[in-house]
Structure 1
Amino acid sequence: MDRLLMNICTLLTDHLSLARTRFLQRWYDYSPFGVPVRGTRLLPIKLPIPKEKSGNIMPNMRFTLDDLIDHIRLYNKKLACVIDLTYTRYYDPKLITARGIRYHKIFVEGHEVPHIRHVKEFNQVVNEVREQDPDGIIAVHCTHGVNRTGYLICRYIVEEMGREPDEVLREFQFARGHPVERVSYIDALMNLSSSRRKPFC
């Protein structure tokens, strides 16, 4: 019985190690951040991993919240809010809120086009931050900062700022340095009715 338990524990450990390795391999493929999307304070980034969880990450490949804040300071800007779209908690929100930065978690599952309730929640948070701190940067991340992040940022700009989907997708790719990859996400954005869009201002 003890040997069986040991074998099960070994298999679980190996599985978790393999999953962590695969996660990092994909995570490595994406740059940490780019610039805010044109005409907005929305900065798409990939998941920042805390220092205490970065032991198995090569030093030159690490990306922490400190790195994010330092990057924003280079532009004489302030980080006003972090919107976390991952479906798991990868870090303690207190790492952000203790600095006086707003943190908002939206549990968005990967692979599926985000639900309308997620869209409404995201739009509401962004509008609140824009009203309270018009010059503050809003960092948005999922795991890689590309698909869920790209979809919700682009949809916000289309619906709340009245811009065309194809233009916004190009602007997101320029800002992030990576395009929205999932065809279903792109199709959903391109099919947004013009009647849903607020006038550009």
Structure 2
Amino acid sequence: MTLRTNVNVMPVAPLSLTGSRDSYSATLGHCLKASAGSKTLCGPGVSTMPNQQKRRKRKNGIPARWLDYCPIGQRIPGTRFIAFKVPLKPSLNCRVPKAHSFGLWDLLDSVESQNQELGLIIDLSFTTKYYMLTDVPQSCSYFKIFIQGHHIPSDAAILSFKRVVRRFLKENQDNDKLIGVHCTHGLNRTGYLVCRYLIDVDGLAPPAALELFNSCRGHCIERQNYVDDLQRAPKRSNVGMDGSKEEAIRGLAVQRPPPREEGQVSQTTTGKQE
């Protein structure tokens, strides 16, 4: 679908946060220690999968280490961003214990529990197997950017992310709807692109952007190449950011899927991260 008009976005005020690379390293160390010593980082109901289950791989299984991360973080102050791990379609959610299931309707409930409203989902995963547009509630728009895990996103992908965010902000100036961003775990690719936007567009210092994202997500960005790029590499160009040729698509789901029966769970399987 093609955008027919240029987007002129009212700029977002930069956040007045400061930080240093040393302070980020200390924060990262604290997160790693917390992760190693606790099964719960962002609230109740988030447990670590047994190592035996982690080693199993089966096509179309749940993502590797998916249960290790809390489903959703908090809204990032001064922005519309909120990060979360990939929600699973019902046929995958039934493979995990009911208390740990996390689908798109669960996502809406979690956002509403924070007295917020979700308006846009940006999907950065490198696959379409975890859910489809038919699973996305009609109240949300959806935009897909294929980002390969472990690799720094291309300049084209970064610009695409900036464009869809700017267009959403332009079209939603009269409300406070959130922009939800996820990859597989809602952490590394998600954290990189959210921080890249905060740095390049909002003018936030890299260490401050990293600390802000980590504290709101409840987990620290793990990929050192992402952290190094955010802290040391030049800002990416914003040229063309307001001339979006892409637009988000409205979700197609009009009602929740049927509730799972109590105790209903298939054998848990894990797949590779995508």
Give the structure-2-normalised TM-score: 0.62
Q: Where does residue 140 of structure 2 map in the other structure?
A: 101
* Residue 179 of structure 2, aligned match among 126, 138, 141: 138
CA contact (8 A) 2:94 2:101 kept: no
Q: In the TM superposition, what whole-angstrom CA distance separates every residue of 1:120-145 from its partner, at most 9, and x where no partner exists?
A: 00011011111111411111000001
* Residue 151 of structure 2, aligned match among 101, 112, 117: 112
Q: Where does residue 214 of structure 2 map in the other structure?
A: 173
1:11-160 correspondence runs (5 A): 16=58, 20=61, 23-24=63-64, 26-89=65-128, 90-96=130-136, 98-134=137-173, 135-160=176-201
- Report the Cα distance in structure 2 between the residues aligned to 1:191 and 1:182, rounded to whole angstroms: 14
Check 1:20–1:166 CA distance in 2 against 1; reply closer, same or farther (3 A cut): same
Instruction: Note the C-alpha offset of 1:195.
Output: 9.1
Q: Where does residue 242 of structure 2 map in the other structure?
A: none
Instruction: Note the C-alpha offset of 1:191.
Output: 1.5
Instruction: Note the C-alpha offset of 1:194.
Output: 6.3
- Report the Cα distance in structure 2 between the residues aligned to 1:105 and 1:124, rounded to whole angstroms: 12
Check 1:15–1:66 CA distance in 2 against 1; reply closer, same or farther (3 A cut): closer
Instruction: Note the C-alpha offset of 1:73.
Output: 1.6
| More RCO (CA 8 Å, sep 6+) | 2
Instruction: Note the C-alpha offset of 1:100.
Output: 3.2
- Report the Cα distance in structure 2 between the residues aligned to 1:83 and 1:163, rounded to whole angstroms: 21
- Report the Cα distance in structure 2 between the residues aligned to 1:129 and 1:94, rounded to whole angstroms: 21
Q: Which runs of 5+ in 1 are unaligned?
A: 1-13
Instruction: Note the C-alpha offset of 1:193.
Output: 3.2
The aligned length equals 180
CA contact (8 A) 2:61 2:92 kept: no
Which residue identity is paired with 1:130?
Answer: L
- Report the Cα distance in structure 1 between the residues aligned to 2:70 and 2:194, rounded to whole angstroms: 18
CA contact (8 A) 2:161 2:193 kept: yes
Q: Which runs of 5+ in 2 are unaligned?
A: 1-55, 239-274
- Report the Cα distance in structure 1 between the residues aligned to 2:61 and 2:140, rounded to whole angstroms: 29
Which residue identity is paired with 2:119?
Answer: A
Instruction: Note the C-alpha offset of 1:86.
Output: 0.5
Give the structure-1-normalised TM-score: 0.83
CA contact (8 A) 1:130 1:136 kept: no
Q: Percent identity?
A: 35
Structure whose residues are more often helix by fraction = 1
Tell me the C-alpha RMSD between the 2 structures: 2.0
SS at match of 1:83: strand
